[in-house]
Amino acid sequence: MDKTEERAWEIIQFQGTESSVKNDEVTSEWPLTVVLNGDEFATIVCSPTDLNDLLIGFLASEGIIRSYTEITSMSIDDYKGFAYMTVDKKLDDIRNDHSKRLIGSCCGKSRQFYFKTDAKTAKTVYSRLSVSVEQCYALMEEMQQQSEQFMRTGCVHNAALAEPDHLLAVRTDIGRHNALDKIYGHLLENRIAVKNKLIVFSGRLSSEVVLKTAKIGSGIILSKSAPTDLALRLANDLQITVIGFARGSKMNVYTHPHRIMEAAMD
């Protein structure tokens, strides 16, 4: 399988009624089938970058592992589009909570919602981190400036791990949830503490995004897009500060504003 971030596509471009033939860069969409302890577990439709981070974060988000050390082996066959993983867990325990399924790159209902797994892994966040309004604006601008693939194609989401004054890691994918899983995997593999970190995000804040933020353990998620009502109810319960519509010098704080107000009063 040809694994590239982007590929050229010949298009006919119109400006008014005038047309011209050009090459356009389009983002690659790549199916990766996860074989877990010898059985096909899921197929993730993703961008073909930072796949180790994606696989580690995906297993953690699904409740299969709690730490990177529980993965005993991992290899990726780029040509066939298969990832072979073994974990230090009985296969029957995995089967009880999961079934083989397709994890779509599109947002929303293509990804199944597992309350049992979420209940095990999405915990209330007690982070004392605070961030100023100016820092929020600066972090969003920094992530957008680093989003070269989005500027070329307009077809990817970005997620970043950040401290209040700078970004630590940025991951890109066609799927919002995949981008967050890549951040999660990066955290676990490198044993990075999250108590003083926040998530900067480009996509819509759905309930799944808030649940992933809780699983990662970050108390603040900052996005340029809108939240859903279920996401906000979950964020209230899980004590996560949700900031949406962070664009230019405007933003909305929806839940737990004390983490912003405390920084403003310092």
Q: Do the annotations mark residue 246 as ligand-binding?
A: yes
Domain ranges of the chain: 30-118, 133-265
The response to whether 250 counts as a known ligand-binding position is yes
Predicted local distance difference test score (pLDDT) of residue 151: 58
Residue 150 binned pLDDT confidence (cut-offs 50, 70, 90): low
Residue 31 vs residue 159, higher pLDDT: 159
3, 70, 239, 205: which is closest to 62 by C-alpha?
Answer: 70
What pLDDT does residue 82 have?
Answer: 95
Model pTM score: 0.83
Q: Model confidence over 27-79: pLDDT tens digits?
A: 777 889 999 999 998 899 888 899 999 999 999 998 899 999 999 999 999 88
- The yes-or-no verdict on residue 106 having pLDDT over 60 is no
Q: Is 248 annotated as a binding residue?
A: yes
In this predicted structure, the answer to whether residue 172 has a pLDDT above a threshold of 70 is: yes
Q: What average pLDDT score do residues 205-219 get?
A: 92
Was 249 annotated as part of a binding site? Answer: yes
pLDDT of residue 93: 62
- The CATH number of domain 30-118, selected from 3.40.1190.20, 3.10.310.50, 3.10.20.10, 1.10.1740.10: 3.10.20.10
Higher pLDDT, 148 or 242: 242
> Could you tell me the maximum CA-CA distance found in the chain, to the nearest angstrom?
63
The per-type count for the chain, helices as H runs and strands as E runs, is 9, 13
Q: Is 245 marked as binding a ligand?
A: yes
pLDDT score, position 72: 96
Q: How is domain 133-265 classified at the architecture level of CATH?
A: 3-Layer(aba) Sandwich (3.40)
Is residue 241 pLDDT above 60, yes or no? yes
Report DSSP letters for 69-134, one per residue.
GGEEEEEEETTTTEEEEEESS-HHHHHHH---EEE-SSSSTTS---HHHHHHH-----------HH
pLDDT in tens, 68-101: 999 999 999 988 899 999 998 776 666 655 555 5
pLDDT at position 240 is 95
Query: According to the model, what pLDDT value does residue 8 have?
Result: 75
Active site residues per annotation:
107
